[in-house]
Amino acid sequence: VKGSHHTLSIAPGQEITIIREGGIPRAFIEKVLRSLRSYRVVVAALDFDEYAVALVQNQGVRLLDEGSLSIPFDERFFPRAKERGIRRVAERMVDAVKRFEADAVVVASPGFLKDEVADALKGLLPSTPIYTDTVANGGYAGVRELLRRDVVRKLLQDLGVARAERVLEEFNLLLLRKPGKVAYGVDQVEQAAEASAVEKLLVLDEMLSSFDDTRARVEKVMQQVFSKRGEVIIVPVNSPPGQQLKMLGGIAAVLRYELFHEDNAVEDSFMG
């Protein structure tokens, strides 16, 4: 019954199926999952003996490449062998970034090698954030050491939050300069979505876990934005942009064009 609460007796290990009235379109679920996409980070750990390159996502780690470097300490061969090794690792990382559309890279080593690889990457990946860290070993052991520190996990979280922060900065700027190009609160955003005006939509994660009519309205807005190829960003409530979004009613949008008058009324031409 709508608006009612029920108590169920469920034993551990028992499987249950909950069917929502009206159902949830599969395409909508897939699009929501894509909006929650896992950010990807390519990591490499190297020393004078070996290297490993891996792809890290929220779902886990995938080893992409590993091998021997065997950089000799003999000063006659060291400079050229080191240069070859650095170039090899950098090229493997660039290939991985392009193949998996990675959002950032992390290079780790016991000494200065990480800095030289990072310098090589700056020219090859000018628009990709590059981070360095120190590990005791190269190879996959170094990758595992890096992951145990939670440095990469925090980076993955920060990448998602950073995207929300950038859109909120754009929202705040437009709110001051062109207030007709933004919408916030369920009522306003709903009107903008119906007018196919939403370019970027920010939704607080807790808006999708409620059990009232608001959730259904928000889901409908998301479907409308998806159908018009708009961007949907789910923002965690326990993040700085999440707290700001909560003060805006839990949902806000950057619009494709000015839709609202200063009195927040929708332009007549878009309502009929």
Q: What is the CATH number of the domain that holds 137?
A: 3.30.420.60
Residue 221 has φ and ψ, to the nearest 5°, of: -60, -45
Q: Which of 203, 172, 210, 195 is nearest to 268 (CA)?
A: 195
Is 1 among the domain residues? no
Is 245 among the domain residues? yes
What is the reported pLDDT for 271?
Answer: 41
Strand order in the sheet with 251-255: 182-184, 251-255, 198-204, 231-235
Do residues 144 and 191 share a domain? no
Range of lowest pLDDT (15-19, 186-190, 248-252): 15-19
Pairing of strands 198-204, 41-46: unpaired
What is the reported pLDDT for 211?
Answer: 74
Do residues 132 and 225 share a domain? no
The enclosing H or E element of 234 equals strand 231-235
Do residues 99 and 125 share a domain? yes
Question: 270 falls in which pLDDT band (50, 70, 90)?
Answer: very low
* pTM over cut 0.85: no
- Report helix, strand or coil for 22: coil
Is 10 among the domain residues? no
- Give the mean model confidence (pLDDT) for residues 2-23: 50
Do residues 128 and 62 share a domain? yes
Pairing of strands 60-68, 130-134: unpaired
**Are the C-beta atoms of 258 and 174 separated by less than 8 Å?**
no
* Mean per-residue pLDDT of the chain: 83
Domain-ending residue, one of 129, 149, 169 = 149
What is the reported pLDDT for 32?
Answer: 56
Do residues 51 and 128 share a domain? yes
* Burial class, 111, CB count within 10 angstroms (exposed 0-12 / middle 13-18 / buried 19+): exposed
Do residues 62 and 122 share a domain? yes
Do residues 145 and 101 share a domain? yes
As a whole-number percent, the residues of the chain with pLDDT over 70 amount to 81
Is 17 among the domain residues? no
CATH number at residue 238: 3.30.1330.30
Question: 155 falls in which pLDDT band (50, 70, 90)?
Answer: confident
Do residues 179 and 131 share a domain? no
**Between 79 and 35, residue with greater pLDDT:** 79
Is 77 among the domain residues? yes
As a whole-number percent, the residues of the chain with pLDDT over 90 amount to 53
Residue 74 has φ and ψ, to the nearest 5°, of: -65, 120
Question: 43 falls in which pLDDT band (50, 70, 90)?
Answer: very high
- Report helix, strand or coil for 270: helix
What is the domain extent for residue 60?
41-149
What is the reported pLDDT for 266?
Answer: 53
Do residues 186 and 122 share a domain? no
Is 263 among the domain residues? yes
What is the reported pLDDT for 118?
Answer: 97
Domain-ending residue, one of 149, 168, 197 = 149
Q: What is the pLDDT of residues 166-183, one digit of tens each?
A: 999 999 999 999 999 999
**Between 21 and 226, residue with greater pLDDT:** 226
Quote the number of domains for the chain.
2
Q: What is the pLDDT of residues 179-238, one digit of tens each?
A: 999 999 999 999 999 999 999 999 998 988 877 788 899 999 999 998 898 988 888 888
Residue 59 has pLDDT above 60, yes or no: yes
Q: On the CB side of 255, how many CA atoms lie within 13 Å of its CA?
A: 24
| Identity at 13, one-letter amino acid code | G
Is 235 among the domain residues? yes
Is 125 among the domain residues? yes
**Between 38 and 127, residue with greater pLDDT:** 127
Do residues 189 and 114 share a domain? no
What is the reported pLDDT for 272?
Answer: 40
